[in-house]
Amino acid sequence: MSAPDFSDLILNRDKPLQKQLYNALMARIINGRLSPGVKLPSSRRMSECLQISRNTVTQVIEQLKNEGFLFSEAGKGIFVSYHLPHCVIDSNKSNLVSESGNNNNDLPVLSNYCEMLKSQSSLMARWPPTLPFSPGMPDLRAFPFSIWNKIYRQHQDRISISGYGDPIGYLPLRERLAEYLLLSRGVRCNPDQIIITNGRQEALNICAQTILNHADPVIIENPCYRGARIAFEAKNAKINFIDLDANRLDVSKVLQANIEAKLIYTSPTHQHPMGGVIPPYERDKLLDWAEKSNCWILEDESNSVFSFGEKPIAALQGMRENSPAIFIGSFNRVLKPNLRLGYLVVPKPVVSSFTYTKATLSGPSTLLYQAVIADFIAEGHFVRHVRKMQKHYLDKWKHFCELITNKLEPSVKLIRSSASMYVVISTPGFNDIKLAQKLNQNGYGSSALSLSYANQPAKSGLIIGCVNTTQTQREQFVEHLKNLLKDKENFL
């Protein structure tokens, strides 16, 4: 580490310089700005920077050395001591923490929304760690890194993509994506209707900020993707929850509720987290209702690429022209999570409004990754990778389901629906949050199912990723979970 810069240290020329420098260095040592082991600049450099005599600097350094705050090593320089006097350590603690033990007491209050998130910290949770069985983690061992890196090297030195770029996204990627979505999901759009986002969550935030006003009514599935709920709560929307039927949105309940909603959020092709699929005739009903009710549909298809139970049904967005459906997708689970790239497909008349929101919230997404993905799709690698992973993931999913059925039932129940990158099990009588925490402590990822519910009673269960695992890991996980379930008293 380079020596600290004292260019921000201003000395009063009308007062003793040596005392001022001494006090300034002491203060920085005490408050931790000069941490133990940090090397100080040479006396010559300090004198030039502060525009004082070198003799003044030398005297201060020698005094601090004698008092135990600094030490010197021959030929290396002057360093902050690793063992400061106890009086300084005690003083440092008292300065950092107030008498009540809370160093935020004197700060202005934060928003109610922030306090709500803090009180429900488990809702936000951290992003899934790179652990086996973490939901949403693809099998990175099967990713074609050699092909990806070759394309990456072709783009990394391009000046034209080294700037900020257009907030709507890299045009070649939007062109390739429009072609792919039409063929794979029946999404009808031109490249100008696609907005590249920083992942699924930003896509939801953009929709919430663009569509909703304070207290606007919103309909959401229950259980649902927690990030959607958080995005709408940030706008203080009035959220109405609709329970599932057959692990999917119950459209008949939406019609019966007769809610004048501004927006409805759904994951129709792979309900998150339960995996159900809304059939075509119910999709028609939902579109009829949305058009008559003047209500936007947010169609979240981020989990639908690897659905194995049946052939994917055409997207709501493409079932009718000029429908009020907004399509949300992501590259993170299909390719690599660190890409942090997703996309929105919005109706032509409102593209500029959504783009303005995107530009204001975060500006353009990284052009380099967009350029790499564009070529990855254009050269056929994307489709080949998806097809390969379909079979690869299905084999893992089947094996994991067999292990759960044979070794864990009836203590748990496997919730079977449209298969994907994870498995959902119910754990009746157990505190699923404690189970997930214990698994995480032992090196296994998972998520508590109850956290996906908006209200009580919530079902106890676990959302368990299965595609970023080996056969041995799956077998070991099931045995480990089996042993945990024997100790029910610790998970009540």
Question: Read out DSSP for 409-436?
Answer: TTTSEEE-SS--SEEEEE-TTS-HHHHH
Q: Mean pLDDT for the chain?
A: 89
User: What local confidence, expressed as pLDDT, does residue 309 receive?
Assistant: 60
Domains of the chain: 17-96 (1.10.10.10), 121-135+384-491 (3.90.1150.10), 155-379 (3.40.640.10)
- Please write the tens of the pLDDT for every residue from 422-457: 999 999 999 999 999 999 999 999 999 999 998 777
User: What local confidence, expressed as pLDDT, does residue 97 receive?
Assistant: 40
User: What local confidence, expressed as pLDDT, does residue 418 receive?
Assistant: 61
Name the H helices within 170-327.
171-185, 199-211, 226-233, 251-257, 280-293, 316-319
- Please write the tens of the pLDDT for every residue from 387-430: 999 999 999 999 999 999 999 998 899 987 666 789 999 999 99
Q: Is residue 242 within 8 Å of residue 253, measured between CB atoms?
A: yes
Q: Is residue 406 within 8 Å of residue 462, measured between CB atoms?
A: no
- Amino acid, single-letter form, for residue 116: M
User: What local confidence, expressed as pLDDT, does residue 101 receive?
Assistant: 41
User: What local confidence, expressed as pLDDT, does residue 290 receive?
Assistant: 96
Strand ranges of the sheet holding 447-448, from the earlier edge strand across to the other edge = 413-415, 422-426, 461-465, 447-448
User: What local confidence, expressed as pLDDT, does residue 1 receive?
Assistant: 57
User: What local confidence, expressed as pLDDT, does residue 102 receive?
Assistant: 47
User: What local confidence, expressed as pLDDT, does residue 311 receive?
Assistant: 66
User: What local confidence, expressed as pLDDT, does residue 314 receive?
Assistant: 87
The secondary structure of the chain in percent helix, strand, coil, rounded to multiples of 5, reads 45, 15, 40
- pLDDT profile of the chain (492 residues), mean per 10: 76 91 91 89 90 94 92 90 70 44 65 72 56 92 97 96 95 97 93 96 96 96 92 94 93 93 95 91 95 96 75 86 93 92 96 96 95 98 94 92 93 79 92 93 93 85 94 96 88 80
User: What local confidence, expressed as pLDDT, does residue 113 receive?
Assistant: 76
